[in-house]
Amino acid sequence: MRIQSAEFIISAASPAQFPTTGLVEVAFAGRSNVGKSSLLNDLVGKRGLARTSNTPGRTQLINFFLINESFYFVDLPGYGYAKAPKELRQSWGRLIETYLRSRGQLRLLVLLIDCRHALSPLDRAMWEWIVAAGAPHQLVLTKTDKLSRSELVQQRRALAAALGVPPEVLIAYSTLKKEGRAELLAAIAARL
Ligand SMILES: Nc1nc2c(ncn2[C@@H]2O[C@H](COP(=O)(O)OP(=O)(O)O)[C@@H](O)[C@H]2O)c(=O)[nH]1
Ligand SMILES: [Mg+2]
């Protein structure tokens, strides 16, 4: 699949603001600072499309990007940002939950996990929801340039075991080393 165009559409604070065109969607989820915005920019080849930052927890809204004028990439709010006020954290959770429950046009949920960390309780909750709902998904390990080859092999195995999946289903992604892009685009294309 080639990305020919990518256009920011809306930052939705509530379901009433979700697009109503009916076009299919690919959503991206993960804990805050996992590298979601960087990965989205890398996928579409546009540096500043999804804002990236060193300050975690900035993306508190659901961002919709129209791709190739035919489907959306949906940037879900990063979860688990400890410093955010509790009320805000709960409202993000509700917004994500409403999106996941009600979005019939969702074709693929991409779950991002930092290759250096163990699964967080919220990663686990998200994963359990995916499994229970039978939702089409793709697991991605981010920032793989931060580990050596052998460390990555170990972490891949450990995270796969924690998730209960074979290690090879995890796509290793690095925006620095330009790794994983073609593989993830192929997985996305297969679901569209
Ligand atoms: N080394 C490395 N750093 C990354 C990679 N992807 C993202 N980062 C860094 O991780 C931090 C958080 O990235 P961001 O995309 O804003 O994460 P988000 O909160 O999940 O959207 C930033 O400092 C990025 O530069 C990667 O593949 N390799
Ligand atoms: Mg972000």
Where in the chain are the domains?
6-191
- Pocket around ligand 1: residues whose beta carbon is below 6 Å from it? 30, 32-38, 52-54, 56, 59, 78, 142-143, 145-146, 174-176
Q: Which atom of ligand 1 is nearest to the CA of 33?
A: 19
Cα gap 130→110, rounded to integer Å: 10
70 compared with 94, residue with greater pLDDT: 70
Q: What percent of the chain has pLDDT over 90?
A: 67
Nearest-CA residue for ligand 1 atom 4 is: 143
Mutational pocket test of ligand 1: of 31, 52, 79, the residue with most ligand atoms within 8 Å of the beta carbon: 52
Instruction: State residue 78's pLDDT score.
Output: 85
Report pLDDT for 58.
55
Characterize 30-60 residue by residue with b for buried, 16 or more Cβ atoms within 10 angstroms of its Cβ, and e for exposed: bbbbbbbbbbbbbbbebeebbebeeebbbbb
pLDDT of 32: 87
Average pLDDT, the chain: 90
pLDDT of residue 157: 98
Beta-bridge partner residues of 74 = 27, 64
- Residue range 113-127: mean pLDDT, rounded: 91
Ligand nearest to the CA of 77: 2
Task: Work out the pLDDT band at 84, boundaries 50, 70, 90.
Answer: low
Which is more confident, 140 or 123?
140
- For a substitution probing ligand 1, which of 11, 31, 32, 33 has the most ligand atoms within 8 Å of its CB? 33
* pLDDT at residue 139 greater than cutoff 70: yes
Class of domain 6-191: alpha beta
**Closest residue to atom 14 of ligand 1, CA basis:** 35
What local confidence, expressed as pLDDT, does residue 108 receive? 97
The pLDDT assigned to 122 comes to: 84
> Which DSSP symbol is given to 62?
E
Q: How far away, in angstroms, is 20 Cα from ligand 1 center?
A: 31
